[in-house]
Structure 1
Amino acid sequence: MSISQEEDKWNWLEEDNGKYSSKSLRGLLENNRLPVDLNPMEWLRWIPLKVLCFVWRARLNRIANKVLLQHRGVPMDSVECSSCFGEIEDTKHVLVKCPFARTVWGRIGEWCGLEIDGNLEFRDLLDSTLCINQPTAKKRTIYTIFMATGWAIWKARNAFIFNGVRLSVESVVDGVMVSTYAWMKFRAKRKDVT
């Protein structure tokens, strides 16, 4: 990696000269070339902001996994998952497909009485809570549990990579249960949470 002494500058990719113009932005908007999120994330006030920000980034495939870091020019010995060494470490693998994550999701599914599809993207797992035939309060509870699960899996991954600490599936699931209970009981002030 080399550091340039040149001054930083902005470059607008929609114009050949690199300069921004409202005309080119209008063209982007009129031609529907901007990405549209058909299922925008619900920002529930009782979920801690750092978790919401993590989930938002994960939905956009913008968490710092090995594939993304390598794409950004960060030197990597390998882009394989540090936990299972079976597949490349992208967002879907870390949060859903890795055997560790699959097992966590399986236990969370048992706890919630749901069958969780381990082939979905993380964002699709979250969005699937909107399709559950339950009252809104229960949907939001499951949505909260799913956010807590993604966050707990990510923290477990980081504990292993940065501290060499391998958390058990049971400790991660217990952490999800405790976090969800605390958020729902004390932050959302839900009286029906026991």
Structure 2
Amino acid sequence: MDETVDHIFISCGFTSTIWALVSLWCKIPDIFAFSIKDLLELHEDIGITGRKKAVIQGIIRIGCWCIWKARNDYKFNNKEIKVEGIMRDIKTLGFFWFNSRSKGSVVSWDDWRSFVNM
């Protein structure tokens, strides 16, 4: 199979699992996209507003980065890809990103992991 951007980030069964887990974690409708553009603009079309909308946008971008990094580790370093590892990375990087950008409203790790108070 050709490795297109859309395949890597959307149509690959592995990444479909990642996006399903992100949807569950963030308590949003299932993430379905037909192109990378759809994926990156998803936060505009799922009926959320305010801070949560910005958070979802950031998480999608972080998710893409983590998927890309895992794909490259597999391709170039022969490192096994694990869904749990990618989800851990998305949550961890997202937590640091969110708290570094929040002005005075830091979220605790426990709240972030359960995605409350967004």
Please, which of 146, 152, 163 is the counterpart of residue 66 of structure 2?
152
- Could you tell me which residue of structure 1 aligns to residue 97 of structure 2? 183
Taking the aligned partners of 2:98 and 2:46, their CA distance within structure 1 comes to 19
Q: Give how far 1:192 is off.
A: 4.8
> Normalised by the size of structure 2, how large is the TM-score?
0.83
- Could you tell me which residue of structure 1 aligns to residue 80 of structure 2? 166
Query: Does the CA-based 8 Å contact 1:184-1:190 persist in structure 2?
Result: no
* Greater Cα offset, 93-102 or 148-157: 93-102
* Structure 1 stretches of 4+ moved >6 Å: none
Please, which of 22, 42, 51 is the counterpart of residue 108 of structure 1?
22
Q: Secondary structure at the match of 1:89?
A: coil
Q: Secondary structure at the match of 1:142?
A: helix
Residues 11-66 of structure 1, C-alpha deviations (whole Å, 9 max, x = no match)? xxxxxxxxxxxxxxxxxxxxxxxxxxxxxxxxxxxxxxxxxxxxxxxxxxxxxxxx
Instruction: Kindly tell me the number of residue pairs found equivalent between the two proteins.
Output: 107
The structure number with the bigger radius of gyration is 1
Taking the aligned partners of 1:182 and 1:190, their CA distance within structure 2 comes to 14
Query: Does the CA-based 8 Å contact 1:148-1:179 persist in structure 2?
Result: yes
Higher helix share: 2
Map 1:90-105 onto structure 2 (within 5 A). 90-105=4-19
RMSD: 1.5
Determine which structure has greater relative contact order: mean sequence separation of CA pairs < 8 Å that are 6+ residues apart, divided by chain length.
2
- Could you tell me which residue of structure 1 aligns to residue 41 of structure 2? 127
5+ residue gaps, structure 1: 1-86
